[in-house]
Structure 1
Amino acid sequence: MANLETFRQNGDRFNLIRSTALIFVRRFVTHLGNSASQHVKWPNQSASAIISDHFYAKQGLPDVISAIDGCHISIKKPREEIVYCNRKGFTSIILQAVCDDKKQFLDVFCGEPGSMHDARVLRRSDLYAKASRDGLPAGRYLLGDSAYPNLPWLVTPFRDTGHLTGQQRQFNYKHSSSRIVIENTFGMLKGRFRRLKYFENINIGFIVKAVVAACVLHNICINFNDTDVTGQTIGADVGHDLPQVEDEVQEVLDRRQQIFNIVMNQ
């Protein structure tokens, strides 16, 4: 994931030509991508219970297993510039990710163009198909911001139309305070792997593999308690300016209301 100057310097240092260094990096990235399912995966039932307990201890939200959000990975302008140009005016691909309380990735989906709304990215992901069919472990749910739809397994805050009650605002605060872990995780990822802040490579397929590889390495670092990241940027390039998604079906509203009632009556 280094740039060409880094390749040249390292090649000179180890007496390698640039093409050999590129081949090595591509093979390493491919290997990490192929092992992603071993390092980026959903927890088992006992681990899910522990994660849920940790989220509950933060703000009193029950049965939370993780948080979800989308992160923009800046790329060099491709031929299809308009498709990849996001709402902030730069070209990017989107990394959709789910993380636990320890900032460990549980699911990643990468490669959709930057112009795509977070809700549509979600619907195109394997996560949406699997969770819609089977739900999440032990009936738990994700926390997502207002760019996402309310679903039986994904709970978003109350839409602020200017008429929220005091308790609804309090619920939204607890929701946001718990959900911020995914923004911190993205910040740690980009702080650890600076190339994720901008890719000069024009091969979208390779960029996607490199991003997934970085997520794998991030999880390996977390497993070894390596959380000291210099220059960490919290919440970089996440989609808070996206329009809110309308609530969907009554079953979903009942799920959020059920959680709201539990939290407010504690």
Structure 2
Amino acid sequence: MDASQKAALVAALGRYKRLQDRNLQRVQEQHEENRKRRRAAILALLRSRRSTAPAAAAGGADWESLLNLDDHAFTRRFRLARHQYDFLLARLQEGGLRSEHSQGAPPIPAPKKLLMFLWFMANRSGLRALSAHFRVSQSSVHRVTHQVLTAMLRLAPDLIPWPDGARKRASAAAFRRVCGIDRVVGVVDGCHVRLQRPSERGGDFLNHRSYYSVLLQGVVDERGRFVDAFAGLPGSARDARLLAESHFYPEWPERMGEYLLLGDAAYAERGFPFVVAPARDDGTLGDAGRRRNARIGRGTGIAARAFGRMKCRWRRLRDLQTTRLDRVAMIALAACCLHNLSLGTFDVCQHYPHDCPRQDDDNL
């Protein structure tokens, strides 16, 4: 090999060495970048776990830590004050709610069952999220919510009580101050409970707002407290039909006596003798009639606000991802019970401080 060939070979080897060095440098830089990304991802995961530690404490053996939260934190999570939770738990346990074993798994204590149920009612997340949150199986979540729902409905006569004579007199005096109409002890109204399209007669459940729903009827007193509730008719029905087919209608002479309910214009078409409804304004209604309608409107607004607050606190009622009509009715009536129990817990709505319902809310 002559000198020129040696020089060419040395130059080629030099270029190859420089290419190898640059390639090795790129590999090292890529490795370092990947290491930094992995470290950043791990740190983000650790931060997220720390930030969700109170929620994760609900699961497994740590769920008891939720019972040690201060009153404000407990109420924000479960929508009931601690003393209201204790009262409800005691009543449910008296009614037969117990801890239980299931297929060799650790028992779910009654206090944890109630926490799971309140979380279920206060949020719109699915059973899978609730299962992960409390570290129980999805089948356990379904079974527990059904157990507590059943126990709640046994308490409904106590949590949604029809007023006695003294309570009626107090309500009549309060409504007279609100709207200037005598002998009124409550307001009757209805709202829609959204659900998935039922497989049978699904079209009957499509309401005038273009979603599928079941109707919930409530009678509320001057405090916005439910004194009667009924659910089950398809969303396409009118409020007047709902009242006529409810358990309340055949009992109204005994329940109402000399007293009256306020209702909106939907009840005027049937001419219920115990419902004071606004007159239709077809252009001939005089000033006196308009003033009377305005007074009725001040009273009926109490029911609209009660439904709005109930759906704001117990958000499960805003969209039930089920087609089982019996379960829809159970959840709706349980929400009315919880609404009554939670009255006074939120003096101002956390999410909508200018009162419920919101003017743009079509889920009522």
The answer to whether the superposition gives a TM-score over 0.5 is yes
2:136 and 2:357 mapped to 1: Cα distance?
37
Partners of 1:72 and 1:237 within 8 A in 2: no
In the alignment, which of 159, 166, 169 is matched to residue 290 of structure 2? Answer: 169
TM-score after normalising by structure 2: 0.61
Root-mean-square deviation over aligned CA pairs = 2.0
Identity %: 27
Indicate the structure (1 or 2) with the bigger Cα radius of gyration: 2
Kept in 1: contact 2:124–2:316 (CA 8 A) = no
The answer on whether the counterparts of 2:239 and 2:266 sit within 8 Å (CA) in structure 1 is: yes
Q: Go from structure 1 to structure 2 and tell me whether the alpha carbon gap of 1:39 and 1:70 turns closer, same or farther (over 3 Å shift).
A: same
Report the secondary structure of 1:97's partner residue.
strand
1:77-92 to 2 correspondence within 5 Å? 77-79=197-199, 80-92=201-213
Superposition deviation, residue 83 in structure 1:
0.8
Letter in 2 for 1:30: T
Q: So what's the TM-score if we normalise by structure 1?
A: 0.82
Q: For 2:130 and 2:148, locate their aligned partners in 1 and report how far apart those are by CA, in whole Å.
A: 16
Residue pairs, 1:28-67, within 5 angstroms: 28-67=148-187
Structure 1 position 192 matched with structure 2 position 300: no
Corresponding position of 1:142: 261
2:124, 2:319 within 8 Å by CA — same for their partners in 1? no
Alpha-carbon deviation of 1:226? Answer: 4.3
Counterpart of 2:218? 97
Q: Which amino acid aligns with 1:231?
A: H
Tell me which protein shows more helix as a share of its residues. 2
Q: Matched residues in 1 for 2:255 and 2:159: separation?
A: 21
Query: Structure 1 pair 165/230, CA: closer, same or farther in 2 (3 Å)?
Result: same
CA, structure 1 residues 189+172, in 2 after alignment: closer, same or farther (shift >3 Å)?
same
Could you list the runs of 5+ residues in structure 1 that have no partner in the other structure? 240-266
Residues 4, 229 of structure 1: alpha-carbon distance in 2 compared, 3 angstrom cutoff:
closer
Can you give the 5+ residue segments of structure 2 that lack an aligned partner in the other structure?
Answer: 1-119
Number of matched residues?
236
What is the Cα deviation at residue 34 of structure 1? 1.7
Q: How does 1:1-266 map to 2 (within 5 A)?
A: 1=120, 6-79=126-199, 80-131=201-252, 133-134=253-254, 136-137=256-257, 139-148=258-267, 149-222=270-343, 225-232=345-352, 233-234=356-357, 236-237=361-362
Rounded to whole Å, the distance in 2 between the matches of 1:126 and 1:142 is 16
- Supply the distance in 2 between the matched residues of 1:237 and 1:32 (Cα, whole angstroms): 28
Q: Is the 8 A contact 2:185 2:221 kept in 1?
A: yes
Please tell me the residue identity of whatever aligns with 1:140.
Y
1:243 is aligned to none
- Counterpart contact for 2:153–2:330, Cα < 8 Å: yes
Q: CA deviation at 1:204?
A: 1.3
Q: Residues of 1 paired with 2:185 and 2:244: CA distance?
A: 19
Are 1:118 and 1:147, in contact at CA under 8 Å, matched by a contact in 2? yes
